[in-house]
Amino acid sequence: MLRCSSPSIIFRILFYGEADLIVTFFSQNAGLLRGFAHNARRSRRRFGGTLEPLAEVDLSWSDASRGGLLTLQEAQMQFLHLGLRRDLEVMTLASYGCELVEALCAEGEPYPEIFAMLHAFLEHLERFPASPEVRLLLELRLLSLCGYAPRLSACCRCGAPLTAETVHVDIPGGALCPFCARSMLNRRAVSLVTLGTLFRSLQVPFTVFDGFHFGTQTLQEARLIVTPLVRHHLRFVPKSLALMGRSEP
């Protein structure tokens, strides 16, 4: 029986029976996993109330399977992130971030860069209000780290430089030069300034969320690109997305 331990972010818990939990979590070393925590709601010594959504814990588990689930052994709290629960918008955006990771990442594959980014994202939301910029940064960076980033600095079909003030974008490929855009039916018109802003945002370290402010036009046009691109790659639709729509620019 192999025993593993890793810093982990709790995504979701499901009550099972009188005292057990089924836990979905994202670990630094092994990625997205699901485990069975026997008697977790009663055991202070092994879990002690650590298995809460959005909490960061040091989690230990074994590969002994219970219906395809790992067996969780114990957890120690690192960051409870109580500040995320201070208002609905912050809580919703934090939950959306975790759901988005779950919907885009394959189970059982390590994503250490995504783990570091998600940790920084939750820490940022604990100190600052929810904002369209933070959501956009999370989505762009997650798409990039999963290998789904659109090409923004040149035409995604022929590689030609972008020179016109208004550029068409193909989903899921990216920016189009005027020649290639003529043959694409599913295209969206955005400004070259918006594409430049998004491209530069991806050059910043992915753990930095502070200090970003985008104009209204950039946010609106960015949503024309990022929203359909995210949905194109989702394995399931995050439940928090319905609430997120109320705060879109």
Please tell me the CATH code under which domain 3-79 is placed. 2.40.50.140
User: Which pLDDT does position 115 carry in this prediction?
Assistant: 99
User: Which pLDDT does position 179 carry in this prediction?
Assistant: 92
What would the pLDDT profile of 18-65 be if each residue is shown by its tens digit? Answer: 999 999 999 999 999 999 999 988 877 889 889 999 999 999 999 867
User: Which pLDDT does position 249 carry in this prediction?
Assistant: 40
Task: Please report how many Cα atoms fall inside a 13 Å half-sphere around the Cα of residue 63, on the Cβ side.
Answer: 6
Candidates 100, 79, 95; CA nearest to 229 is: 100
All CATH 2.40.50.140 domain ranges of the chain, comma separated, are 3-79
Would you write out the chain's pLDDT as a tens digit for each of its 249 residues? 688 999 999 999 999 989 999 999 999 999 999 999 999 888 778 898 899 999 999 999 998 676 689 999 999 999 999 999 999 999 999 999 999 999 999 999 999 999 999 999 999 999 999 999 999 999 999 999 999 999 999 999 999 999 888 899 998 899 999 999 988 877 889 999 999 999 999 999 999 999 999 999 999 999 999 999 999 999 999 999 888 765 454
User: Which pLDDT does position 1 carry in this prediction?
Assistant: 66
